[in-house]
Amino acid sequence: MSQLKNDRFLRALLREPVDVTPVWMMRQAGRYLPEYRASRERAGNFMGLCGNPEMACEVTMQPLARYPLDAAILFSDILTIPDAMGLGLYFETGEGPKFKKPVRTEADINALRIIDPAKDLPYVIDAVSLIRRELNGSVPLIGFSGSPWTLATYMIEGGSSKDFRRAKQMLYNQPELMHQLLDTLAQSVIVYLNAQIEAGAQAVQIFDTWGGALSHNAYREFSLNYLDKIVKGLIREREGRRVPVILFTKGGGQWLETMADTGADALGLDWTTDIGIARARVGSRVALQGNMDPTILYAKPDRIRAEVAAILESFGAGSGHVFNLGHGITPEVDPEHAGAFIRAVHDLSAQYHP
């Protein structure tokens, strides 16, 4: 594998010195880019893109051709694991992901098995290898997975949900059944992320998108416990360097200390948590990733630049910050505004890295 030309993303995750604050965007290969929309049309649909390693590689590389980003992230979806378990993932236009066979009974959960990435998700592993070759050491590649709790909500609800009624009903009425499901998912996430690392991913992120929907005690029992198990099961060194792990619980700002206890290298923040306060709480233990409100990208470039400046000032001097949005970039954003954001991070952050 070729030597990394730009490793500031990996260095920042390990709180090592960098020249400027690294930046990437969640969902950086996405519908806001006209070239992505053209590729998706050619593929026929979203799963056509995900399931074709060459096309997944093509769209992963598109934002890097446009912007001086410090990392690439595998183009895939968090719901590949439940799909590999035979639940029949499909996408309704305007409604998001749905499953033909939701998981709602003890028999449904007993029928699930831990996935074998090589057999069940070869297209993802092939895409990782292909993207890593295509990057040719320009920037690191991030692999990812959904968290067990987040995956479970989609599997039980049969798709997206506003109140997670069915999932929470199972959690409170049949906690042992919910734990069985979460344990199967945690073991699947471990083998899936390890397969991505072995194929060339140089850092991994776990997206706990719906962890913030849980109560304080339920979060610890039904989400954090499994994040902890995953972190402890991952390959942490490869090709002579550490493979950093980022945990991102949307709406999880109140749990940063216990999230840091898992041994993750970095925690993702959404825009509701001030990064300076977060750094004061946990910054000597983990790096922090985030945390600009994605909707600021609808503002004028000078307003975007001012927001970047405020977040950098809040974090302060020194390494341990990976600049990102607090959630994924949205489809209606002007690509020029995304470019202004990325340039502002590099321009304005050098003063914090003397």
Q: pLDDT truncated to tens, each residue of the chain (354 aa)?
A: 558 999 999 999 999 999 999 999 999 999 999 999 999 999 998 889 999 999 999 999 999 999 999 999 999 999 999 999 999 999 877 778 999 999 999 999 999 999 999 999 999 999 999 999 999 999 999 999 999 999 999 999 999 999 999 999 999 999 999 999 999 999 999 999 999 999 999 999 999 999 999 999 999 999 999 999 999 999 999 999 999 999 999 999 999 999 999 999 999 999 999 999 999 999 899 999 999 999 999 999 999 999 999 999 999 999 999 999 999 999 999 999 999 999 999 999 999 999
Q: Is residue 2 part of a domain?
A: no
How many structural domains are present in the chain?
1
Instruction: Tell me which residue range forms the domain holding 126.
Output: 8-352
Among 11, 40, 132, 305, the active-site one is 40
Domain of residue 312, CATH code = 3.20.20.210
Q: Is residue 82 part of a domain?
A: yes
- CA distances for 236 relative to 116, 124, 178, angstroms: 20, 20, 28
Among 31, 104, 241, 242, the active-site one is 31
The binding site for substrate consists of 27-31, 77, 154, 209, 327
CA dist., res. 100 & res. 312, Å (int): 45
Helix or strand (DSSP H, E) at 324: strand 321-325
Q: Is residue 15 part of a domain?
A: yes
CA dist., res. 260 & res. 228, Å (int): 10
Q: Is residue 51 part of a domain?
A: yes
Q: Which amino acid is at 292?
A: M
At 111-134, the pLDDT tens digits run: 999 999 999 999 999 999 999 999
CA dist., res. 143 & res. 44, Å (int): 24
CA dist., res. 23 & res. 348, Å (int): 12
Q: Is residue 1 part of a domain?
A: no
Q: Is residue 3 part of a domain?
A: no
Q: Is residue 345 part of a domain?
A: yes
Q: Which residues pair with 90 in a beta bridge?
A: 98
Q: State residue 321 phi and psi, 5-degree precision.
A: -120, 125
CA dist., res. 49 & res. 124, Å (int): 11
Annotated catalytic residue 285: no
* Summary count for the chain: helices (H), strands (E): 17, 11
**Residue 173: is it exposed, middle or buried by C-beta count within 10 angstroms (0-12/13-18/19+)?**
exposed
Q: Is residue 34 part of a domain?
A: yes
Quick one: DSSP state of residue 23? B
**Cα 79 → chain centroid:** 12
Annotated catalytic residue 27: yes
Q: Which amino acid is at 99?
A: F
CA dist., res. 204 & res. 207, Å (int): 10
Among 154, 192, 219, 226, the active-site one is 154
At 214-272, the pLDDT tens digits run: 999 999 999 999 999 999 999 999 999 999 999 999 999 999 999 999 999 999 999 99
The pTM for the full model equals 0.97
